[in-house]
Structure 1
Amino acid sequence: MRHRTSSTVRVVAALTAAGTALALAGCSGDSKATELDPDADVTITWWTGQADEAESLLEDLAAEFEKDHPNVTIDISPGASSTEELLQKLSAGFASDTYPSISYSFGSWASELESSGRTQDISDKITDPDLGWDEFSEAARATVQPTGDKVIGFPALVDNISLIYNKTVFDAAGVDYPTDDWSWDDFRKAAKELTDPATETYGYEYSVSGSEETTWQFWPHLWQNGGEILSDDQKTSAFASEAGVDALEFLRGMAVDDKSVYIDQTDTKFAQLFAADRIGMMTSGPWQLYDLNTAGTDYGVTVLPGTHGDHQTVSGPDIWALFDTGDVNENYWSYELLAWLTAPEQDVRWNVAFGNLPLRASEIDSPEFQAQVEAFPGLDIMAANNVNAVKSRPTVAGYVGLSEAIGSAISRVLQGEGTPKDALEEAAQKADQALADNN
């Protein structure tokens, strides 16, 4: 299991900017089919954004699809030396009219991809009952429909953050394990009871690096309190509200007043200390379970604590973006490939086999996923927690600047500098400027 870095990527400001021409097969050619002929020979180009084992799994699936559809040739490759480079290559491809049919894309790119005018719109197809569109989480569906208008592709990967607790630390302190109906007050009380300065043991942890790790841990607190990240028109920030101030004050009270929070400036040390039985609780995702099992840590997993019964979490879905190559046959078969790939029968051989959460709720009871649960206890709870991923992080171009602004504010407050209200209002000004500069 690998933690993706999609949330920290700085996106290219203008996808339609001029770029270096790419020698790709995706949409280059002498003629384009304008009338659909599903039996015509067709080549579609697929950038997977993957490497090593993940790429091999997808290549095997592509070969299987080709065998079942002899008229279809799939030109499959990672597309770039790293996933982070795909957006720049897409931008250059749009400028030279030589872009792929399908590309893996971080969810944070979705709005910019749609604004390029090069994506397909499959809105009229997702109502097909056989597609099972409602089986994808709300956050995943929202990410492939970034402006609420077009549906530009399919979910590719889903995750969320859950509450992971260290049973050894709880047992040593004589504290009852968390339950799925815990409130944040229950959480705070337990964190204080778990903290022991003599052994340098902390109840909870929080990253104060100012990165997206800092930011996205805050969004469930904001949402559960009734707050929003952006205004309705997505042009200005909305987090410096009473809901936002209350959420940050709660975390400040734990970190500064209770001193029950390990303040991590590295994004990584907290997980090591948790595995070593020095931290009682952390909020994280499925990528942590491999390391915890390797370390032999005795842990449990449940949903995030809630506010008035709302246990909303945050998710960072990535997508398979579908591009309109101008050839109706290519467009038809690129859609058919993704509809097939994201069906439960194939997803258990891709996401589940690789150690990711299943895309669809119907896969949770599959033998393939249950085998992963046996290897990584708690993975089933994280998969079920996708029902609490009801909102998606913004995909607007200015989100990176917004995230940096509020991440810095959270970091300062949790280290005892300034008040939540002042810090969030200052962050909102910076966030609004970033949003204005990118719109």
Structure 2
Amino acid sequence: MKDRVEFSSSRRRMLKMLGVGSAGFALAACAPRATSTAEPTENVQSGASGASLEQGELSVLLCCATEQSRDLQERFSRDFEANYPGVKVKVEQPPPGTNYFEKLQTLVAAGTPPDVFDMWEGYVAPYAQNGVLKDLTPYIDADPEWKMDDFQPAAVAATSWQNRLYALVRDFYPGPSLFFYNKDIFDAAGLEYPNADWTWDKMKETAKALTKDAKGTGKIDQWGVTYETWFVPWLYWIWSNGGDVFNADETKCTIAEPPATQAIQYWADLALKDNCAIPSTELAALQGAANAFITGAVGMYLGYTWNIADMKAARDQGLNWSTCLPPKANNSGRVFYMHLECWALANQTKMPKASWQYIRDYTVKAIDEFVTLYPGIPLLKDKIDLFLTPEHKEYGWDKIPEIISDPKNIRIPGAGAKWDKIAGLIQSELDLVVIGEKTAEQAMTTAAPLVDQELARSASALEDWSSRV
């Protein structure tokens, strides 16, 4: 459990604060030109009886591994060396505080990328486009046991570029994935508990009923609902309501269109007009949305996988909570952000067979233990039971496989490495909506042309680079 907390915390910090928009684009200026990947000359098999591999050192670069997951990686690597004599695996993880993608970019620019390395959602396409990643499609096609249909469709969609697979997912999970509720507060109000069929309007109706001056001080001290306002929740709002940030070819920002602005305004108004969500000023005093829920100040909280450990600790202290899937938009849409961890191979690797065999074997041999550390959905469909544990079913996650069978219901935002800067441009305006200084329409009308400029600037610079290589 400690390992889950450490990993989730570091990943959450990177997702919220990692400033790699410019660094990600700088990769385009130094990455080698894309080259075609030759078809493997023999079937790829797992285990000691597999194909003969290149001899030498196989370098593996990890991002956010923790003590337990690093131990798993080392044990797996030693087993791999035993099964494939002549291959020596070197596992490296940047020291704490290091920007992982800047580290990776530096290695790529120097022409010394690791053979195998961590990738995240949103980075696969731009790295593939710039020639950094090896196309894995030929390896899947040549595999005697695997075919693309064996993989979760959403995982394939998130790690593909131009209909070719460029990364192999270890696990993935939706965000926000949980809708926590305080059972004692609901019981005292005589209200039904939330369930997966709830809509935003049902949530709002219930939140209004729960909001009150419980202590008779003339000030609200029990709120109905709370939530964060960084990009994962507001993407869930926008996508679920039928909106999007970009058009289909990601050349224009569409966040100022009604489905997007209406969704943002709806959630902002829970605090500004409906007076049933904790205002941003009070939320800061309560040390954030999760802590507000843990301290009993609010009945419902739109939360995440990484909140579970803290919630369990709070339960031990008397917090009587349960959870279900986040509510649907009023149009019945429910579309999640996709968090994922995946492997990629360097297009420049001198050990392509060994690199492929390493990530293939990990997917088969190590994933059972890996998903006990991180509560995600494995790549292979036939391993879905590793995710559907009794505990996860209690959270309502048994409904997730059916929902995500359509990749449109669990997504990444697009724009590749440009997303971080674009999200920041949008966030600056969205923050003004949350405090009531602008309407969502006004704010997103300001943000959209700024995003368009960034899309055009990055595209122009990439074309210029492409003409010079």
Give the shorter-chain TM-score range.
0.7 to 0.9
Which range moves more in the overlay, 46-55 or 34-43?
34-43
Secondary structure at the counterpart of residue 197 of structure 2: coil
Q: Which residue of 1 aligns with 2:306?
A: 287
1:432 equivalenced with 2:458 (yes/no): no
Q: Structure 1 unaligned runs (5+)?
A: 20-33, 209-213
- Measured in 2, the distance between the counterparts of 1:290 and 1:71 equals 42
Name the % identity. Answer: 21
CA shift in 2, pair 1:279/1:337, >3 Å: same
Q: State TM-score, norm by structure 2.
A: 0.79
Q: Is the 8 A contact 1:205 1:281 kept in 2?
A: yes
Give the residue type in structure 1 aligned to 2:438.
G
Q: C-alpha offsets along residues 24-50 of structure 1, whole Å, 9 cap, x if unaligned?
A: xxxxxxxxxx98772442431111222
CA shift in 2, pair 1:126/1:312, >3 Å: farther
Q: Structure 2 unaligned runs (5+)?
A: 32-39, 43-50, 216-220, 460-469
Secondary structure at the counterpart of residue 26 of structure 2: coil
Secondary structure at the counterpart of residue 159 of structure 1: strand
Q: 2:245 aligns with which of 209, 219, 229?
A: 229
Q: Is the 8 A contact 2:121 2:412 kept in 1?
A: no
Residue correspondence of structure 1 range 47-62 to structure 2 within 5 A: 47-49=61-63, 50-62=65-77
Q: 2:264 aligns with which of 248, 253, 257?
A: 248
Q: Which residue of 2 aligns with 1:23?
A: none
1:340 equivalenced with 2:356 (yes/no): no
CA shift in 2, pair 1:70/1:263, >3 Å: farther
- Measured in 2, the distance between the counterparts of 1:83 and 1:191 equals 40
Q: 1:70 aligns with which of 75, 85, 95?
A: 85
Q: C-alpha offsets along residues 295-329 of structure 1, whole Å, 9 cap, x if unaligned?
A: 113222222212343322222223212112353xx
* Matched pairs, number: 411
Secondary structure at the counterpart of residue 347 of structure 2: coil
Q: Is the 8 A contact 1:203 1:281 kept in 2?
A: yes
Q: Is the 8 A contact 1:170 1:177 kept in 2?
A: yes
Tell me by how many angstroms 1:406 deviates: 2.0
Secondary structure at the counterpart of residue 336 of structure 2: coil
Q: 1:15 aligns with which of 21, 27, 30?
A: 27
Tell me by how many angstroms 1:391 deviates: 2.1
Q: Is the 8 A contact 2:325 2:396 kept in 1?
A: no
1:318 equivalenced with 2:341 (yes/no): yes
Q: Is the 8 A contact 1:275 1:292 kept in 2?
A: yes
Residue correspondence of structure 1 range 36-55 to structure 2 within 5 A: 38-49=52-63, 50-55=65-70
Give the residue type in structure 1 aligned to 2:304.
G
- Measured in 1, the distance between the counterparts of 2:150 and 2:292 equals 36
CA shift in 2, pair 1:171/1:103, >3 Å: same
Give the residue type in structure 2 aligned to 1:260.
C
Give the residue type in structure 1 aligned to 2:265.
E
Secondary structure at the counterpart of residue 235 of structure 1: coil
CA shift in 2, pair 1:195/1:280, >3 Å: same
1:131 equivalenced with 2:146 (yes/no): yes
Residue correspondence of structure 1 range 40-439 to structure 2 within 5 A: 40-49=54-63, 50-78=65-93, 80-82=94-96, 85-126=99-140, 130-131=145-146, 133-134=148-149, 136-145=151-160, 147-160=161-174, 161-162=176-177, 163-199=179-215, 200-208=221-229, 214-264=230-280, 269-296=288-315, 297-307=319-329, 308-327=331-350, 330-343=351-364, 345-350=365-370, 352-360=371-379, 362-366=382-386, 370=389, 373=391, 378=395, 380-381=397-398, 384=401, 386-387=404-405, 389-439=409-459
